Structures are given as C-alpha cells and as structure tokens.
C-alpha cells in the first residue's frame, strides 16, 4: 500500500482558524498509523513556500510528538494568501519570475520534492487554488493528487456541512465578549459593538451570540445594584444575509438604551459592506482589496460604520467597537472540533492512498456523508440560513423582530 504513496506534502493557507495545527497533527498521526514508511514534508507559509521550494521534514521525533500540535492554535508551518492563477501578483511579490506560470512552478517543485499527494488545509480560496492546481496537474499529466481539508471559521464553504474550526471560533468569541461587555459600566449610555468575522456569511456571528448567551445564563445577578442580566444581553444581531431597517432598529434599540443605559450589538464584518464600499467610492476613496479581489474588511471598518449609524439615534454618550476575530481564529481547537478534524484527517489519508482528490468534508448535498468532495463543487460564500429554527428563536429571545430576517441577495 505504501508503494502507491511514498511521500506527501502538507500546507496551510489563508487566514488562521482553530484547526490548522490540530489538522497537521492528526494527518501526521494518521499516516504514521497507516503507513509509517511514508515520508512527510510541510511547505512553509502555504503556497508561497511551495513556489519557493521551502519545506520542513516531519522527522521520527515530530511523529512521536504529534499530539503537541493538537494543543496549539495557529499554524506552526505558517500561512500566506497566494493565488496561483494570479500571475501578476505572484510576479510582483517575487514568488515567480516574469514569464513563468506559478502553477507550473508549483507542480515542478512537487515533482522535484518527490511528492505524490499534496494536502491543502484552508478555506474556499485555498481549496479553489487547490482545485486550479489539481486541474493543471491532471491536464499536464503530472502524477500527483491533491486532497484538501476545509478550514474557515465563517462556515461558508459550499457544500461543506461544517467547516473545521468554526465551532471553536464561536465559543472563543463568546468568551471574548463576556469580558468586553463589562465595559458598559465604564460610562453612562454605552453602545458596545462586537464585530465578528464573516465576510459573506452570518453563521459565526449568530453562533457566537448563542454561545455567549449560554455563558451569561450561567451567571448570577444582583439587579437591585445594577448587576442585571439585561445589561449583558445581546440586543441586536446584524449579518450580511439580513435586511437592515436602520430607523426601525434605532427606535427599538433607543428604548433599550433608555431603560438599561447600554446597548450591545453583534455585527458580522461583512454586514452592509456594499453600502460602505459605495460610500467610499462616492468620496473618491480607493477600496483596498487582497490578491483574490476581496475587499479588505479590516480597512473598511464595518464596526465603525455601525457605530456612526446608531450612536446619535440611540443617544449614546460613548461608543466602543471591539473585534474578536484574531482572538478567536488563533485559538486551539475545542473538543467538538478536534473530533471532526480527526475524522477528516483519517478520511483524507484514506483518499490519498486511493488517489481520490477533492476536499474532505461532510457533504451536505450527499446526506452529510464524509467524503472527498469534488473540487469543481467547492465554492465560497455559502449564505447562512436565516430561517433556521435556532436563529429565529435567538432573534425572538432578544426581542429583535423576526421580520428583519429577510434575505439580502448578494
């Protein structure tokens, strides 16, 4: 069996998620159990390291210590955002020479390294890049197989039922806000905005709100002296998939502010981005974008935009915008994610020996079956189902009109 796969490569790419380090560890363990003679190398900084020929060898000592990877967040082998089909960007960054095809450079490096199977761990951008590379390899008769694992805390990869690291990110975001929310004591009429990651999908924002409310529900309160549940409650949730009636919501939130002296909002970083971008372009400002053409959300400041929209209408004396993204995405995987990551890693190794390429995940279009999903079916930007029963219940419990759950077409 080990004759069909003698050497494998692993890379992580895109933004961080609470699964990368654990996925590396579980892949190493799965190979060690199934075929300990298979060599493993890890490319440094994702596709960048592949183009540059920079890799690290998984030694017997590393294999013996594979559990250490599960204890940590981040990616010990490093990430980067590189799109192999964006030749201009690769040349500009010095990753390939003028006239070179990054995909061919990557393919030739894999051949030089003797790699039979490449495991890519990343989100939709990483795996669409992997799909492009897999297609190039097949078209040009390279005897190489690409097997991906689905990482994104946004949980927005089609048709992945549950992407790796998302559960942990929601739990960590909840812990983050459990401290931040106490800032309502710092000033009268406080507006606190918790900006959560999620470019096109509001799942993480909604799931974080659910996890946070679980934490609050376990706390004790003394309302007679201002220590009330209501002041720690989530008062509004705004995500990319929902229509936003600012005047109506401002009126509702103003009543909460008048009664409880504070308002706490959970906002997806991608909520109302089209409106913000339109305003920036109308002012003649350049909208910053990454190598994949995505708007740089860290530059457009969605949380600040929401603060500007609501502060005056709510009569807020002070506004605080806090982002939990970097805190959440660099965490170590929790128990639920570790279980899913391990299942996916074991399946990925099985697919490697079967030379079955694709992205390993629970295929929601195939009854949730764990399988190597065909690359051509992998897409980003899966919308969150705002008609999900648990989400509608969440809105009802916090007093936000369910009528607001009207899908916005992107």
pLDDT 10s digits, 231-247: 999 999 999 999 888 89
Q: What is the pLDDT of residues 65-121, one digit of tens each?
A: 999 999 999 999 999 999 999 999 999 999 999 999 999 999 999 999 999 999 999
Q: List the structure tokens of 264.
A: 């706490």
Residue where the block lists tokens 């189902």? 385
DSSP 8-51: EEEEE-SS--TTHHHHHHHHHHHHHHH-TTSEEEEETTTHHHHH
pLDDT (tens digit per residue) in 161-198 = 999 999 999 999 999 999 999 999 999 999 999 999 99
23/279: higher pLDDT: 23
User: Torsion angle, CA of 121/117/42/33, rounded to 10 degrees?
Assistant: 90
Supply the pLDDT for residue 88: 94
Is residue 410's pLDDT more than 70?
Answer: no
* Position 303 pLDDT exceeds 80: yes
273 sits in which H/E element: helix 273-282
Q: Is the pLDDT of residue 211 over 80?
A: yes
Among 129-138, 204-213, 287-296, the range scoring the smallest mean pLDDT is 287-296
Between the alpha carbon of residue 339 and those of residues 23, 70, 183, the distances in Å are 11, 11, 36
Alpha-carbon Rg of the chain, whole angstroms?
23
Q: Which comes out higher in pLDDT, residue 271 or 171?
A: 171
Q: For residue 409, what pLDDT is reported?
A: 46
- 298 pLDDT band (50/70/90 cuts)? low
pTM score of the predicted model = 0.91
Question: Which range has the worst mean pLDDT, 154-158, 198-202, 285-289?
Answer: 285-289
What does the pLDDT look like over 332-370, one tens digit per residue?
A: 999 999 999 999 999 999 999 999 999 999 999 999 999
Half-sphere exposure of 358 (CA within 13 A, CB side): 23
Residue 407 has pLDDT above 80, yes or no: no
What pLDDT is recorded for position 2? 41
Quote the pLDDT of residue 259. 97
Percentage of the residues of the chain whose pLDDT score is greater than 70 = 93
Is residue 57 classed as helix, strand or coil in its secondary structure? strand
Which residues lie across from 9 on neighbouring strands? Answer: 41, 118
**Does the active-site annotation cover 125?**
no
Catalytic member of 89, 116, 132, 154: 154
Taking the C-alpha atoms of residue 325 and residue 42, their distance in angstroms, rounded to an integer, is 26
Residues in the chain: 410
The chain-wide mean pLDDT, for the chain, equals: 92
Specify which residues 8 forms β-bridges with: 40, 117
**Cα separations (Å) of 186 from 11, 144, 261, 303, 373?**
45, 59, 11, 20, 50
Phi, psi values for residue 343, rounded to 5°: -60, -45
| Percent with pLDDT over 90 in the chain | 79
Provide the pLDDT for residue 230.
97
Q: Whose CA is closest to 292, among 149, 123, 158, 100?
A: 123
> In the block, which residue shows the tokens 């305003």?
279
- pLDDT band at residue 302 using 50, 70 and 90 as cut-offs: confident
Give percent helix, percent strand, percent coil of the chain, each to the nearest 5. 45, 15, 35
Question: Stretch 197-220: mean pLDDT, rounded?
Answer: 96
Query: What pLDDT, on the 0 to 100 scale, is given for residue 292?
Result: 67
* 275 vs 186 pLDDT, higher one: 186
Nearest 5°: the CA angle 269, 168, 329 is 50
pLDDT given for residue 403 in this prediction: 61
């Amino acid at each position: 069996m080990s004759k069909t796969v003698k050497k494998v490569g692993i890379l992580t790419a895109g933004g961080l998620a609470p699964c990368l380090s654990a996925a590396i560890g579980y892949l190493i363990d799965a190979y060690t159990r199934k075929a300990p003679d298979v060599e493993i190398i890890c490319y440094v900084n994702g596709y960048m390291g592949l183009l540059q020929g920079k890799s690290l060898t998984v030694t017997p000592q590393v294999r013996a210590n594979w559990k250490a990877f599960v204890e940590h967040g981040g990616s010990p082998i490093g990430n980067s955002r590189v799109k192999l089909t964006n030749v201009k960007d690769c040349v500009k960054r010095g990753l390939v020479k003028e006239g070179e095809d990054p995909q061919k450079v990557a393919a030739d490096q894999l051949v030089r390294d003797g790699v039979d199977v490449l495991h890519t761990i990343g989100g939709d951008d990483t795996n669409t890049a992997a799909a492009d590379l897999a297609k190039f390899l097949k078209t040009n008769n390279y005897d190489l197989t690409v097997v991906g694992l689905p990482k994104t805390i946004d949980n927005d990869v089609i048709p992945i039922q549950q992407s790796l690291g998302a559960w942990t990110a929601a739990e960590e975001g909840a812990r983050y806000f459990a401290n931040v929310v106490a800032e309502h004591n710092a000033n009268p009429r406080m507006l606190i905005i918790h900006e959560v990651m999620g470019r096109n999908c509001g799942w993480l924002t909604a799931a974080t709100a659910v996890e946070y409310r679980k934490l609050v529900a376990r706390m004790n309160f003394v309302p007679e002296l201002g220590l009330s549940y209501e002041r720690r409650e989530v008062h509004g949730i705004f995500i990319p998939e929902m229509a936003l009636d600012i005047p109506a919501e401002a009126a509702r939130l103003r009543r909460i502010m008048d009664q409880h002296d504070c308002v706490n909002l959970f906002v997806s970083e991608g909520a109302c981005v089209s409106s913000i971008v339109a305003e920036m372009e109308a002012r003649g400002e350049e909208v910053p974008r990454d190598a994949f053409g995505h708007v740089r959300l860290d530059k457009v400041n969605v949380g600040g935009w929401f603060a500007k929209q609501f502060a005056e209408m709510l009569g807020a004396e002070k506004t605080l915008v806090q982002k939990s993204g970097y805190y959440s995405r660099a965490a170590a995987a929790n128990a639920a994610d570790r279980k899913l990551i391990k299942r996916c890693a074991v399946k990925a190794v099985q697919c490697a020996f079967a030379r079955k390429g694709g992205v390993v995940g629970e295929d929601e279009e195939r009854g949730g079956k764990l399988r190597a999903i065909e690359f051509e079916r992998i897409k980003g930007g899966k919308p969150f189902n705002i008609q999900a029963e648990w989400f509608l219940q969440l809105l009802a419990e916090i007093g936000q009109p369910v009528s607001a759950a009207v899908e916005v077409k992107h």
